[in-house]
Amino acid sequence: MAAKNQINLFDLALRALPLYEDPTGTARPLWRDLSKHNGYSDLAISRANGVAGIAARSGISWGYADPLFSHNWIGAGLNGLYRTSYHVLYAGQPVIPQADNWYTIHPWIETIPRIIDLEVRTDGLDPWDYAQSTAELSDLILSRDGVRPIIYSRYLLVNEWLSPYWDPDYLNDHYFILAQYLWDRTREHPGPPTFPNGLRRERVILHQTADKKAGYPGEVESSAADYDRWEIGNRAEMDQWIRETWGGEIDPPEPPPDHDHLLNLTQRQEADKLYLEIEVTHE
């Protein structure tokens, strides 16, 4: 009975997207999220293999800056990819310093909104603390950028941390990226992902389908790359949806201002020390 209900709900959800192709399978537009874990990336290779856009990790919490953010951001722009940043939120820590760290690293957005990475569990926090910190950061970003951030998480975490505490209208004022894999994480989950409680299907725009699958030859230094599949239509439909939702084409490629000074050698060494302390929890 449960399986039948799930299929019926999915059929109903698809009827809400009559203009778009069936949003399942691995032929959907591919995005990447990139960080220090991937080493240096060659985004010309990404584009040549059909990658449409990237989210580059800016940093973690209030003190860590990803040393490869500028490389990934500039590389995406030079190769005509959609680009944005994601930042790892630490709930329970003051939000304004975390936001200021993010805006120092990535001061302005193009077409694609920022992404809050909501997946770090901290000992001693209640679920409400995650809801409160995420809402505070979302509201702050809305006030600065004029658009709400996207939220990256997993449906179980959204069900635990957000759905019980956020008003449904507020929850659905955000777009989501949901990570959900097969047991073999070198193969992509065909989709769709499981939708969190209270979240409308059309608010899920990307599905992270695998995190242990190899990238294209020469694309990244790491042995694996994250695969993020667009959930709403094919490439032409994705471009149309982005234009209609966020109002713009891919901006002309320009390096962001003043990024060369972000991390000198001493700052990189200090950042790496903080990174090692924080990343133990993050992993």
Amino acid, res. 34 = L
What domains can be seen in the chain, in order of their start residue?
22-282 (3.20.20.80)
- CB–CB of 27/58 below 8 Å? no
For the stretch 28-86, pLDDT in tens is: 999 999 999 999 999 999 999 999 999 999 999 999 999 999 999 999 999 999 999 99
Please measure the distance between the N-terminal and C-terminal CA atoms of the chain and give it in whole angstroms: 37
Amino acid, res. 223 = S
Backbone φ, ψ for residue 189 (5° rounding)? -65, 130
pLDDT at 51: 96
User: What is the DSSP secondary structure assignment for residue 118, as one 8-state letter?
Assistant: -
In this structure, what token pair is assigned to residue 22?
A: 């069936």
Taking the C-alpha atoms of residue 195 and residue 50, their distance in angstroms, rounded to an integer, is 27
Question: Token match 């059929």: residue?
Answer: 11
- CB–CB of 249/243 below 8 Å? yes
- CB–CB of 117/86 below 8 Å? yes
Cα three-residue angle 64-138-268, rounded to 5 degrees: 10
User: What is the DSSP secondary structure assignment for residue 263, as one 8-state letter?
Assistant: -
CA dihedral of residues 137, 140, 144, 150 (deg, nearest 10):
40
Cα three-residue angle 138-36-265, rounded to 5 degrees: 105
- Using DSSP's 3-state secondary structure scheme, residue 82 falls into strand
> Using 50, 70 and 90 to split pLDDT, how confident is the model at 27?
confident
- CB–CB of 181/209 below 8 Å? yes
Where are the extended beta strands (E) located within the chain? Answer: 30-34, 51-60, 64-65, 82-88, 115-117, 150-153, 176-179, 204-213, 225-230
Cis peptide leading into residue 107 (ω within 30°): no
Positive or negative, the Cα torsion across 240, 193, 98, 79? Answer: negative
Q: What is the pTM of this model?
A: 0.81
> Using 50, 70 and 90 to split pLDDT, how confident is the model at 23?
low
> Using 50, 70 and 90 to split pLDDT, how confident is the model at 278?
very low
pLDDT at 248: 61
Strand 115-117 with 82-88, pairing: parallel
The contacts of residue 184 (CB under 8 Å, 6+ apart) are none
For the stretch 157-171, pLDDT in tens is: 999 999 999 999 999
Would the pLDDT of 182 be above 60?
yes
In this structure, what token pair is assigned to residue 243?
A: 């234009």
Q: In what helix (H) or strand (E) does residue 156 lie, and over which residues does it extend?
A: helix 155-161
Return the minimum-mean-pLDDT range out of 9-23, 206-220, 253-267.
253-267
> Using 50, 70 and 90 to split pLDDT, how confident is the model at 125?
very high
CB count in 10 Å sphere of residue 247: 9
